[in-house]
Structure 1
Amino acid sequence: MGNLLELYVKLVGLVLVGFILGRKLPSTVPTRLAQWLFWVGVPISIVSFLRQTDLSGQIWIAPAIAYLAILLGAFLAWLGIKGQTYLSNTIPQRPTQGSLLLAAMLGNTGYLGFPITLAMVGKEYFAWALFYDLLGSFPGAYALGVALGAHFGTNLQNHSQFTQVSRAIFINPALWSFGFGLIFRQIAIPDIWEFGLDKFAWSTVALSLVLIGMRLSKLNSLGNLPQVGISLGIKMLIVPLILGSTLPLFGLTGPAAKVIILQMAMPPAFASLVIAETFNLDRNLAVTTLAVGAMLLLLTLPIWLWLF
């Protein structure tokens, strides 16, 4: 409970700082900060944390579970769309269907999942979160997520944009730093360098939370609350409950299982909004799921820590 309260103070405090700064500073600041984190901060922090993590055990099962969570979320969202159509005799617009599917599938396992995992489980098991995100959530977002965006979108340039966005997965610096970090962890470096890397990595975590606050400050519209409830219920409640109950069957217990649960229970990713904007999906639905999901996490996080 003490760790959870400390996490809430840091989490809410840093996001609130970012929210205030996002309202005061020019709109270019969040963009610049996001670019710096993407190209510099996150890759270096991955290298640093990999030096302190335990890579033993069935760690490669983490991305497999991530794919299961993505596919189960998509399937349940599809059932929800069919159920809504049957009960109301109205078919949601295709862009709305696409945004609903993305919100139920894609979780914020990086910028939000990483700091929560580090705070609640520790650096020793951080690699489980890393494998879940970089080898699971990230390809899921920019492969299946982009394919769904192209399928449900109304953008006439879908094909060229599909190619452009898909190419991003191959130049993502986090993936390259992940591979480099696996090699670099075997190399001894002076203690002062190790100390500096560690402090830099934790500073990056803090800036990631500030960036989330900045982005939330730019979300001005809320709508489609019934459909938002469907997607968030699937993403943050049903999927973690179903798959979390099966983790012992995969041989996952203790801290490793807790990391997987935390990653599965994260609110929708900002990637869902990026894809929605790229392919002209329902942006209002994407915006609302991001904002409501971030607030709902404060209520659901203690539930998962208690249940598992």
Structure 2
Amino acid sequence: MDSIILIFLCLLAGVALRRMKIVLQGAHTVLNQFVIYISLPGLALYYLPKIEISSKLLLPLGVAWIGFGLSWLFFALLGKWLGWPPKIIGCLVLTAGLGNTAFVGFPVIEALFGKQGLETAIIIDQPGTFVVVSTLGILVAAAYSKENAGTSGLLRKIALFPPFVAFAIGLCMNLAGFDFHDMVQPVFQRLGSTVTPVALVAVGMQLQIQRKSRHWGFLSLGLAFKLLLMPLFLFLLYKLALGGEGMVIDVCIMEAAMAPMITAAILASTYGLKPKLAGMMIGVGIPLSFITLAFWYWVINTF
């Protein structure tokens, strides 16, 4: 419960800082860079060496990869058909295709399924959502922004993206059966724990919900896809098509129903992909998701 309270407090703090004009204009950019260059690598280096690699990872891993692929296909085709600007398409692919599987997901899953459910959630987040945003996320952000770096340039951006570098190091450590010394691990854990407050303050500083905003239609479609269509697809695939049962499948569906990922919104903002829309996806999506999550929890316990 304290994690959920922290989410709303940090969002409100960011809004307050902007309204009171305490910080300089563009200060959110500095916070975004802090998250990308320090917080996320710390998170990866703490968790990745500890994950047990086995065939049991396949379905949890699929949540992020399938969801993002579905989002990319859906919004790319729809945007092309309706003639949307590329930046709108890129923003929606990122923010509707990646869920907040950690900072909203972890406390919710632990409350509903206990420590065992949290173990599955970590698999969904770290080698799943975290890797997708560090690879395909960068690819989409660069492709739909004004940048035209070419194939080699895109690969260089992915390879040099700090969270991806940390992921590669953590994966190599995992395969080698090596972890950091007990004195160092709390350092990475504390660095990783700064993601939620810093990122949400940055989102709050950018959040401007205007009644006459031209983004409301895109926002409604993006949130409908993220909070309803994506978990529906995973429910039909995992529960009905594959005949999956048990807590792991239930956690996968609940994580698919989480609000948009904070890091995805930061990535969209960093690449100039409609920062205001990205901020609204987070600011409106997080509180709204608690209603839709209750619905999906009823669904998995009923069918």
Scaled by the length of structure 2, the TM-score of the pair is 0.72
The Cα RMSD (Å) is: 3.7
1:235 aligns with 2:226: yes
Q: Which residue of 1 aligns with 2:197?
A: 209
Give the residue type in structure 1 aligned to 2:12.
Answer: L
Residues 138 and 158, structure 2, Cα contact 8 Å, conserved in 1: yes
Residues 221 and 288, structure 1, Cα contact 8 Å, conserved in 2: yes
1:48 aligns with 2:51: no
Structure 1 unaligned regions, length at least 5? 86-90
Range moving further from structure 2, 28-37 or 73-82: 73-82
Q: Which residue of 2 aligns with 1:102?
A: 93
Q: Which residue of 2 aligns with 1:254?
A: 247
What is the CA distance between 1:130 and its match in structure 2? Answer: 0.7
Give the residue type in structure 2 aligned to 1:258.
Answer: V
What is the CA distance between 1:251 and its match in structure 2? Answer: 4.9
CA deviations over 1:196-242 (Å, ceiling 9, x no partner): 62465255324433322322222335323123212210122111112
Q: Which residue among 6, 9, 14 is the counterpart of 2:5?
A: 9
Q: Counterparts of 1:33 and 1:160 in 2: how far apart (Å)? A: 25
Q: Counterparts of 1:206 and 1:136 in 2: how far apart (Å)? A: 21
Q: Counterparts of 1:273 and 1:92 in 2: how far apart (Å)? A: 25
Give the residue type in structure 1 aligned to 2:67.
Answer: A
Q: Which residue of 2 aligns with 1:68?
A: 66
Range moving further from structure 2, 234-243 or 114-123: 114-123
Q: Which residue among 103, 119, 123 is the counterpart of 1:127?
A: 123
CA deviations over 1:43-77 (Å, ceiling 9, x no partner): 22222223444433431454444332223224444
Residues 103 and 235, structure 1, Cα contact 8 Å, conserved in 2: no
Q: Counterparts of 1:306 and 1:54 in 2: how far apart (Å)? A: 30
Q: Which residue of 1 aligns with 2:178?
A: 187
Residues 61 and 128, structure 2, Cα contact 8 Å, conserved in 1: yes
1:266 aligns with 2:264: no
Q: Which residue of 2 aligns with 1:38?
A: 36
Q: Counterparts of 1:179 and 1:258 in 2: how far apart (Å)? A: 26
Residues 105 and 235, structure 1, Cα contact 8 Å, conserved in 2: yes
Cα separation, partners in 2 of 1:239 and 1:217, compared to 1, 3 Å? same
What is the CA distance between 1:259 and its match in structure 2? Answer: 4.6
1:171 aligns with 2:164: no
Scaled by the length of structure 1, the TM-score of the pair is 0.71
Residues 100 and 228, structure 1, Cα contact 8 Å, conserved in 2: no
Name the count of aligned residue pairs.
283
